[in-house]
Amino acid sequence: MPTTVLNHSATDWGVVVVFAIVYLGMFLGGLPRLKLDRSGVALLGAIAVIALAGLPVEDAARAIDLPTIVLLFAFMVVSAQMRLGGFYGAVTRRVGDMPLSTTGLLAALILVAGALSAVFSNDIVCLAMTPVVARLCLRRGIDPLPFLIGLACAANIGSAATLIGNPQNMLIGSVLQLPFAGYVRQALAPVLIGLVLLWAWLAFGPGRGSPRPDVLPPAGEAAHADAEPAFDAWQTGKGLFVAGALLLIFLFTDWPRDVAALVGAGVLLLSRRLHSAHVMGLIDWPLLILFMGLFVVNHAFETTGLAAQAVAWLGTQGVHLTDPGPLLVAGAVLSNLVSNVPAVMLLLPHLAGSGEQAGVMLALVTTFAGNLLLVGSIANLIVADLARQQGIVIDWKRHAVTGIPVTLMTLAVVWAWMRFFA
């Protein structure tokens, strides 16, 4: 291997440098002294490798997995429809009004967040539910931390139940051509067990008796409440109909998922009440740019052959990424170093032809690993940021009390399930 590595051209090493800088940006969330977030870093990285390698724009475009981009965009439209229809807030308030004990209410919110995240984007679910959950806890005089941390963790865990619950699952399903129903059959049990473990830790774990933090609701709380879309039964029903129809198509037909989802998004955009500009304003365009930029950067890096040589060398040492143990470790570590979407993009090329089980494990591991640290997933950061607007501080220590043990337990469930039962 060392001799082969030395034979690479200066262009190859230039691509390697750009690749390393891009993934440093994924780790840091940007680049020092530059006003760049992860999406900006990925976009500039794609521009750099196109220029360095003399990569034709047409080849760069072919490196982008278009079905993944289309599927992701379409479900962003579906999620935007549900949010503008006031669905998420209405469901959360309905659960909060139920005559439940504190542990019962915690269980109900975890179940609802997990179920919604399996169909709609986990980030959107957290964005819509967090202010409602925070005010619910303040109104009832209960500690909001278990509920808010539980919301973030449940959204991450629940999103792993399907191939449309989060961006990395969409990517895995598209690239590895995983069957939708087959994936759900294998992933549902670990997800349900994970949600139960999350609830048990929050309800009965060591942190249960900790003192309630000081909470000072900000003066602008009422403004946040007024900013929530009012519940619209027609718009919500329209969104639920399209989402339900898409689920049935995915489960019981072999129609292309990206095409079906795009048609569903088109149906939702045909509206006399919701302006398309409002819907498009809720699309996460930076995430789409992040995907496209990383596709190009990773493609350029793969053409150097260094990644394939590194994986081959690991194989000679008895470490095979297609085996459950190494895949679990690689997925969990990379997800917390560079975030789960870049981690999946790094690992996917080396799982081609490895079978459905490897794809299922990669999806579960990279999603569950997002709960380890506060910065491990966008959903966690959304909850922490919106909670702060309500005067509730969720720092990394408070999150780690739940995130670390829950992540270790759920990853153990994934390994055992995929090793002995799947």
What is the tens place of the pLDDT at every residue in 361-419?
Answer: 999 999 999 999 888 888 888 899 889 888 888 888 889 999 999 999 999 999 999 88
Greatest CA separation for the chain? 70
Euclidean distance between CA atoms 253 and 306, whole angstroms: 40
107 part of a folded domain: yes
4 part of a folded domain: no
| Exposed / middle / buried, residue 233 (Cβ in 10 Å: 0-12, 13-18, 19+) | exposed
- Contact yes or no for 347/160 (Cβ under 8 A): no
Amino acid 378: pLDDT: 85
Number of domains in the chain: 1
Amino acid 375: pLDDT: 80
101 part of a folded domain: yes
- Contact yes or no for 219/96 (Cβ under 8 A): no
12 part of a folded domain: no
| Exposed / middle / buried, residue 77 (Cβ in 10 Å: 0-12, 13-18, 19+) | buried
209 part of a folded domain: yes
> What's the token pair of residue 146?
């278990």
Amino acid 202: pLDDT: 95
Amino acid 217: pLDDT: 53
In order of 24, 37, 340, 408, the CA distances from 27 in angstroms are: 5, 11, 11, 21
In order of 57, 323, 359, 362, the CA distances from 354 in angstroms are: 31, 9, 8, 12
62 part of a folded domain: no
Domain that holds residue 148: 68-421
For the cut 70, the answer to whether the pLDDT of residue 4 exceeds it is no
pLDDT band at 208 (very low <50, low <70, confident <90, very high): low
Residue % of the chain over a pLDDT of 70 = 93
For the cut 80, the answer to whether the pLDDT of residue 215 exceeds it is no
Q: Among the listed ranges 138-147, 187-196, 249-258, which one has the minimum average pLDDT value?
A: 138-147
- Contact yes or no for 158/332 (Cβ under 8 A): no
28 part of a folded domain: no
64 Cβ neighbours under 8 A, 6+ residues apart: 291, 292, 295, 296
pTM: 0.88
| Exposed / middle / buried, residue 234 (Cβ in 10 Å: 0-12, 13-18, 19+) | exposed
Euclidean distance between CA atoms 30 and 136, whole angstroms: 35
| Exposed / middle / buried, residue 139 (Cβ in 10 Å: 0-12, 13-18, 19+) | exposed
Per-residue pLDDT averaged across 299-323, rounded? 85
48 part of a folded domain: no
